[in-house]
């Protein structure tokens, strides 16, 4: 059963939790550093002990406003906080401070590129601030669970999309766009493996042409782009299967099991939470002055979309190339650094997207951890451009640069890899090859043009691959047609 080209249509809305990269927590001065000893970074405010008073971290507001401006949203003023009440072992205080009415960011959108329909606008319903809960730890404890409250009170921005997404790949595209924006804005490291960005996927299906939304399920805390795609794909197929066999979709929360590639029911609607929201009595409504918004506007960095358009314009790259190069801020910086050395955007872009990305992927590394820096890669490209080395040699040299941290020139001279471009030297090799193959020369002269390739091959071989193939080609033609 294919989920595409069928009579069914998928409807997807994402809720994305982004951990904001502040030094201290949203309502206290405790550190937000990742990886500290359990329960060493949670103070009485994070724990909600009686009598404590939360104080809003101003930086959290600035970051949320940045996100709102980057996604064409309205910044609400005053923005208000609310208590969301529920019991869970990792939330010993029994409530979470969140936002319900008048969230800081409302009614925005961003553009994604889709496989089928080109550019598409995805609505952002709201983005609100809240504090994170602690963490239950099941692994190291026999017959009980541990609780680590270091994460309690870490600032989160929850970004809720409209149900505008229509396929797993659109959902991933949207998620990557959010990831790219928060990293450009430097409001989060977006590290999904460490939980700095987590995604809940709401999925329903309906017959094409139907206006009313179908019953949805919500798959919680999916923590990689690939898993988001897989989880949604599974959920769409599961729901279509149920409906086609006359069953109903149960509105429920589900979990994705990446090992089995299935989603499983976690809790159904009957146990749905009633959070008994009420206005947070310990925090006043926060008035956001226009002057603050203007200041933040003035300090906004260039955003992915703008950078992409500039790359197309300034460097004459294709949409595809600039899309990749602008998707990550550090990758874009590396590329521009490279162009400073080479002054050749096209070939530089090709090296970043091709060879460099392949080596990064193989080592599971970010561009910041690249073993070859922009300066050295730039010098390697210059050696191709001035014909010291061929493209093929450059790839071998690149591999050695990666493994040895030597400069390209060191490797070229220590291995004697310079390309032979001296005409006399090449002509000598050509003459030798002509001398050794009189039969082929005759055949060529009587019209068998294909033999040109034979001679090029001979000369390349006798130069041990160091002759410039294009030059060899031209010189042989001249010699044989004399
Ligand atoms: P809740 O807070 O209970 O999860 P919301 O109304 O805030 O509910 O919706 C959360 C997310 O679910 C939003 O991203 C929204 O776009 C999406 N959504 C709502 N209804 C549907 C539906 N029928 N199918 C798919 N997604 C939906
Ligand atoms: Mg939800």
Q: What percent of the chain has pLDDT over 90?
A: 73
pTM confidence score = 0.84
Looking at 115-167, list the stretches that DSSP marks H as alpha helix, in order from N- to C-terminal side: none
pLDDT of residue 127: 98
pLDDT of residue 271: 56
User: Contact 476/459 with Cβ under 8 angstroms?
Assistant: yes
Q: What is the pLDDT of residue 140?
A: 80
- How many A from CA of 182 to the centre of ligand 1? 22
pLDDT of residue 165: 97
Output the pLDDT for position 288.
Answer: 97
The reply to whether ligand 1 has any atom less than 6 angstroms from the CB of 204 is yes
Cβ neighbours of 142 (radius 10 Å): 4
What is the model's pLDDT at position 114? 83
- pLDDT the model gives residue 389: 85
Which ligand lies nearest the alpha carbon of 12? 1
CB distance 216 to ligand 1 below 6 Å? yes
Q: Residue ranges of the chain with pLDDT lower than 70?
A: 1-5, 268-273
171 CB within 6 A, ligand 1: no
Judged by its nearest atom, the ligand closest to the C-alpha of residue 100 is 1
Q: What local confidence, expressed as pLDDT, does residue 153 receive?
A: 97
pLDDT tens for each residue of 315-326: 999 999 999 999
Residue with tokens 């959920």: 235
Q: What is the pLDDT at residue 414?
A: 83
- Provide CB contacts within 8 A for 74, sequence distance 6+: 68, 105, 106, 107, 108
- Position 450 scores a pLDDT of 83
Query: What does the DSSP 8-state code read for residue 401?
Result: H
Q: Which ligand is nearest to the CA of 200?
A: 2
Over the chain, what is the mean pLDDT? 92
Residue with tokens 């987590």: 198
Q: How many angstroms separate the CA atoms of 254 and 274, rounded?
A: 18
DSSP labels, 93-124: TSEEEE--SS-SEEEEEEEEEETTTEEEEEEE
């Amino acid at each position: 059963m294919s989920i595409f080209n069928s009579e069914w249509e998928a409807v997807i809305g994402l809720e994305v939790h982004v951990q904001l990269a502040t030094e201290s927590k949203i309502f206290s001065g405790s550190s937000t550093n990742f990886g500290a000893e359990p329960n060493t970074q949670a103070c009485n405010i994070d724990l909600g002990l009686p009598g404590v008073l939360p104080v809003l971290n101003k930086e959290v507001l600035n970051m949320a406003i940045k996100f709102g401006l980057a996604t064409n949203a309205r910044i609400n003023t005053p923005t208000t906080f609310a208590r969301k009440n529920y019991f869970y072992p990792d939330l010993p205080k029994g409530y979470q401070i969140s936002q319900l009415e008048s969230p800081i960011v409302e009614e925005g959108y961003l553009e994604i590129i889709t496989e089928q329909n080109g550019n598409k606008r995805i609505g952002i319903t709201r983005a609100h601030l809240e504090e994170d809960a602690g963490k239950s730890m099941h692994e190291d404890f026999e017959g009980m669970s541990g609780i680590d409250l270091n994460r309690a009170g870490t600032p989160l921005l929850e970004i809720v999309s409209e149900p505008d997404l229509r396929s797993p790949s659109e959902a991933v595209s949207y998620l990557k766009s959010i990831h790219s924006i928060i990293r450009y804005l430097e409001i989060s490291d977006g590290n999904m493996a460490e939980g700095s960005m987590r995604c809940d996927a709401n999925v329903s299906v309906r017959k094409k042409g139907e206006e009313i939304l179908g019953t949805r399920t919500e798959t919680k805390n999916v923590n990689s782009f690939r898993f988001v795609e897989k989880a949604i794909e599974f959920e769409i197929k599961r729901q279509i299967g149920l409906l086609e066999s006359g069953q109903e979709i149960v509105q429920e929360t589900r979990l994705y099991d990446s090992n089995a590639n299935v989603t499983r029911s976690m809790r159904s609607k009957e146990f749905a939470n009633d959070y008994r929201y009420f206005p947070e009595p310990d925090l006043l409504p926060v008035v956001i002055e226009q002057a603050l918004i203007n200041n933040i506007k003035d300090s906004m960095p260039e955003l992915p979309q703008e950078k992409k358009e500039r790359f197309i314009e300034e460097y004459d790259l294709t949409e595809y190339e600039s899309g990749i190069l602008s998707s990550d801020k550090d990758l874009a910086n590396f590329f521009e650094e490279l162009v400073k050395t080479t002054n050749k955007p096209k070939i530089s872009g090709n090296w970043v997207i091709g060879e460099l990305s392949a080596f990064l992927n193989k080592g599971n590394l970010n561009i910041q951890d690249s073993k070859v820096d922009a300066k050295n890669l730039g010098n390697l490209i210059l050696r191709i451009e001035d014909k010291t080395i061929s493209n093929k040699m450059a790839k071998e040299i690149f591999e050695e640069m990666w493994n040895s941290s030597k400069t390209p020139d060191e490797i070229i001279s220590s291995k004697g890899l310079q390309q032979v471009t001296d005409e006399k030297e090449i002509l000598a090799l050509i003459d030798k090859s002509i001398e050794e193959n009189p039969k082929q020369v005759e055949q060529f002269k009587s019209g068998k043009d294909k033999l040109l390739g034979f001679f090029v091959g001979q000369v390349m071989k006798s130069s041990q691959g160091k002759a410039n193939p294009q030059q060899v080609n031209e010189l042989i033609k001249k010699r044989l047609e004399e």
